Copies of this chain bind each other. A is one copy, B any other.
Amino acid sequence: MLDRCIGTHRVRQIQRAIRHGKITLLCLFMTVVVLRGTIGAGKFGTPEQDFNDLRNHIYASRKHAEPHRVLTESNQSNNSKNDEANSAGDANNYAAFDINKILVDEGEDEKPDPNKPYSLGPKISDWDEQRAKWSSENPGFSNFIGANKPRVLLVTGSSPKPCENPIGDHYLLKSIKNKIDYCRLHGIEIFYNMALLDAEMAGFWAKLPLIRKLLISHPEIEFLWWMDSDAMFTDMAFEVPWERYKDSNFVMHGWNEMVYDQKNWIGLNTGSFLLRNCQWSLDLLDAWSPMGPKGKIRDEAGKVLTRELKNRPVFEADDQSAMVYLLATQRDKWGDKVYLENAYYLHGYWGILVDRYEEMIENYHPGLGDHRWPLVTHFVGCKPCGKFGDYSVERCLKQMDRAFNFGDNQILQIYGFTHKSLASRRVKRVRNETGNPLEAKDELGLLHPAFKAVKVSAS
């Protein structure tokens, strides 16, 4: 009927225009849909995923959100019950997989009793005695594995969830390999935590319940070495000077003046520290924890810390600021057993180290542990597991690769190899094989390190 009013030609024009219009709209729609699936719905971070998130300059406005990782739009065939029969199809294609299908989140965390003050656990007051008794009954688990060598447990960890951004897990993997290498050379055991033991103490505070639990479960440990997942060993030959700390219980990198005089929030660093297994340490953990419980307590404590400490930005209470505050205000109680170490980099801020690696290789050698060859390079603020860091992503990742290779070269040279450059993951041979491998020069003494040899009696 329409064509009688406006003419056949016109009708056909309109029909054609409508068809084109439909196709156009369909294309636009598909393009939008695919783009959304790729970019994601927004930029919400989940700080609780990142145990090693030391300071957040802009956290006040962040909200918790569920991670939204969709590699592409979910593939219909993944919903098929006959996945295994379809083994060669999209069901087997990792690129087509929607990760949300396996992210199981069972319910909410238990709500803590608001009337009950937070506690890390039942009070223990005789830990030194309990420990001594246990040790005498268990001589096979001595606190010292050599004359001057205490039994050390290095503790680190990361979230049980995949990183919000994919490359984060790759750097966590390289980071733990790096720690495995150092610890193997130095006779140190590792505990890699991926469990949130106490929902109230999520984020950077999660280390406190974990540390307490490990200390009281393992009386054989003399020192617990906490190390953040974004910290890497860059001096494989440096042995911690344990003798120096014989009268100390808590060793952190820092400066007395910056903590006790200035109350500077970065006067010490809690990303890499040593804690002796003793009553004093349990008491310290109890004194440290009150600012930690998330929500109102942590927020309010954050305001106190920003007010009381020098240069501290506005954000919820973090464990490092809380420690500065604790020591600065209760020096008499704790100070005599705290060693703020700055003779070597128990923690080394990456910003002032990573551009000097070539200079270090040129002028120095492993074993120094200090500014000449740092024991630890710590990538504070990079947050590769999250969505958004405090520094350029490109700089962070490139420098983390360099730091990893800088440390890895010291392992590879044991076997006659090295990275082609500090930027390259490829390796090249630098020492020829011979028929007498045991005569190879072990230049750094890392093949059979003296600090690792133990006396084993015939049994």
* Contact A102/B146 with A39-B72, A162-B167, A184-B190 known, Cβ cut-off 8 Å: no
Are B392 and A456 closer than 8 Å at their CB atoms? no
Residue of B nearest to A383 (CB): B94
* Contact A165/B94 with A86-B392, A391-B87, A427-B196 known, Cβ cut-off 8 Å: yes
Q: Does A420 contact B (CB under 8 A)?
A: yes
Q: What separation, in Å, do the CA atoms of A129 and B9 have in the docked complex?
A: 99
Q: Does A27 contact B (CB under 8 A)?
A: yes
Among B139, B180, B456, contact of A190 (Cβ-Cβ < 8 Å): B180
Are B122 and A196 closer than 8 Å at their CB atoms? no
Among B31, B139, B398, contact of A102 (Cβ-Cβ < 8 Å): B398
Among B124, B414, B436, B455, contact of A435 (Cβ-Cβ < 8 Å): B124
Are B170 and A163 closer than 8 Å at their CB atoms? yes
Are B23 and A34 closer than 8 Å at their CB atoms? no
* Contact A94/B386 with A173-B172, A184-B190 known, Cβ cut-off 8 Å: yes
The number of times this chain is found in the oligomer is 2
The segment out of A216-224, A231-239, A297-305, A341-349 that lies at the interface is A216-224
Are A424 and B169 closer than 8 Å at their CB atoms? no
What B residues does A39 contact at CB under 8 A? 72, 95-96
What B residues does A130 contact at CB under 8 A? 436-438
Q: List 6 A-B contacts (CB under 8 A).
A: A27-B27, A27-B28, A92-B389, A97-B394, A216-B438, A217-B414
| Known contacts A24-B24, A176-B180, A197-B415; 12 further A-B pairs (Cβ under 8 A) | A31-B34, A69-B166, A94-B167, A95-B165, A104-B423, A124-B435, A130-B438, A142-B456, A177-B192, A213-B415, A217-B440, A455-B457
